[in-house]
Amino acid sequence: MLNENIRELRKQKGLSQEELAIKLSVVRQTVSKWERGLSVPDAEMLLSLGEVLDTPVSTLLGKTVIASEPDSLQALSEKLEVLNAQFARAHELKCRALNTLCISLAVAVALILLALGMIGESYLDWNFTNPEYAIAGTMLHGFEWIFVRIAPFILIAAITGAIATRKKG
């Protein structure tokens, strides 16, 4: 809502992200983040945006609320608080998903290593004159050879990722 309004109003004024950024004394990446919904401008910046885009802040936020100046600042701060809470929740969900992925990857690598350890090199005793056994044995040996060399790095990265993304507090 806010991000789409900023982008649409900027385009209606014929401004590029760079030009809008210069008028607001921010970097272009900041405007880009606002328009992609990755961050929101603070209350003062919303007022500046409204001035530069010649639009009321209530229109930027998606509603046409008629209120006195002190009330509009209060309403604006409440809306920003809601937006920040939404961003925090989205960030928390992403961290949780990444944590689950890292833990799953670590468990999968450990299980595959365990399975390869239990199999040992018993496949080398297969009758390789049979083409099917030869292909299967060669593929298994190739997989084992590569996996055993990269598994420690994957396992360390997965454990590090799981620790880094765990919920704190």
> CA-to-CA distance for 123 and 142, rounded, in angstroms?
12
5/74 Cα distance (integer angstroms): 21
Q: What's the CA gap between 7 and 85, in Å, rounded?
A: 22
Q: Which tokens belong to 73?
A: 């600042």
pLDDT given for residue 151 in this prediction = 95
Predicted pLDDT of residue 128 = 86
Residue-wise pLDDT for 71-128, tens only, equals 567 777 888 888 888 888 998 999 999 999 999 999 999 999 999 888 888 877 888 8
pTM higher than 0.75: no
Residues of the chain with CATH 1.10.260.40: 2-66
Which CATH number is 2-66 given? 1.10.260.40
SS3 assignment for 6-56: HHHHHHHCCCCHHHHHHHHCCCHHHHHHHHHCCCCCCHHHHHHHHHHCCCC
